[in-house]
Amino acid sequence: MAEPELFYDAYDTQVGLVGVLAGPAGLRRIGWGLDPGTASREPDETVQLVLGQLREYFGGQRGDFDLPLDLPPLEPTTLTVLTALQGVRCGETVTYGELARRSGTGVPARAIGSIMAANPVPLVIPCHRVVAADGLGGFSGGDPGHELETKRWLLENEGALPPVLV
């Protein structure tokens, strides 16, 4: 079966340029430094929908995303953990350990960070809302070299930065 045609565009945010890769079935990837590969840069309805919601999010008019997803193939455990993460709403955070428990996968808390790094659609599946029990934790999103600053900005923008991390 042939891959569907994918389309690319980007949005310049307060924390760097965010690329969007989508096709007719939904959003495939989003991220900083996203390589468009062979994706078309022609206007696409799904890409425009994603860009519109990004504008709303970064403009303070949207907290959570409502987008069709067409995720690349993921390990079943990764998909289960990312699905559990979708229940963490804007203004909330969850620790790695709590997300591990919520997922019901038996994955240890220390493995959740690797699963977050595999998230093909950060922001939309909000891996920035996963924090360490004793601090901010890591983040694989954001401009290279500025990942933790990006995570802090996103959480502050959402009003979700835990007091211990301020």
Could you read off the pLDDT of 12-30 as tens digits, one per residue?
A: 999 999 999 999 999 999 9
Q: Is 9 helix (H, G, I), strand (E, B) or coil?
A: strand
Q: Which of 21, 39, 121, 127 is catalytic?
A: 127
Same domain, 95 and 155: yes
Residue of higher predicted confidence among 163 and 79: 79
Owning domain of residue 38: 7-58
* Alpha carbon separation from 8 to 19, 59, 84, 113, 125 (Å, rounded): 7, 21, 27, 27, 19
On the question of pLDDT at 154 being above 50, the answer is: yes
Within-domain flag for 67:
no
Q: How confident is the model over 108-126, as a mean pLDDT?
A: 95
* Residues 86 and 149 both lie in one domain: yes
pLDDT band at 162 (very low <50, low <70, confident <90, very high): low
- 52 with 81, same domain? no
Q: Are 79 and 120 in contact (CB under 8 A)?
A: no
pLDDT, tens only, 33-51: 999 999 999 989 999 999 9
Quick one: 80 and 54 in the same domain?
no
Does 157 map to a domain? yes
CA atoms within 13 A on the CB side of 89: 1
Q: Are 51 and 83 contained in the same domain?
A: no
Same domain, 49 and 85: no
CATH code: domain of residue 116: 1.10.10.10
Q: Looking at the structure, do residues 49 and 91 belong to the same domain, yes or no? A: no
Q: What angle do CA 10, 14, 17 make, to 5 degrees?
A: 25
The total number of structural domains in the chain stands at: 2
- No. of H helices and E strands in the chain? 5, 5
Active site residue 90: no
- The answer to the question of residue 128 being in a domain is yes
The model's pTM is: 0.92
Residues 25 and 89 in one domain: no
Q: In 3D, which of 63, 78, 67, 70 has the Cα closest to residue 129?
A: 63
- Answer yes or no: do 40 and 85 share one domain: no
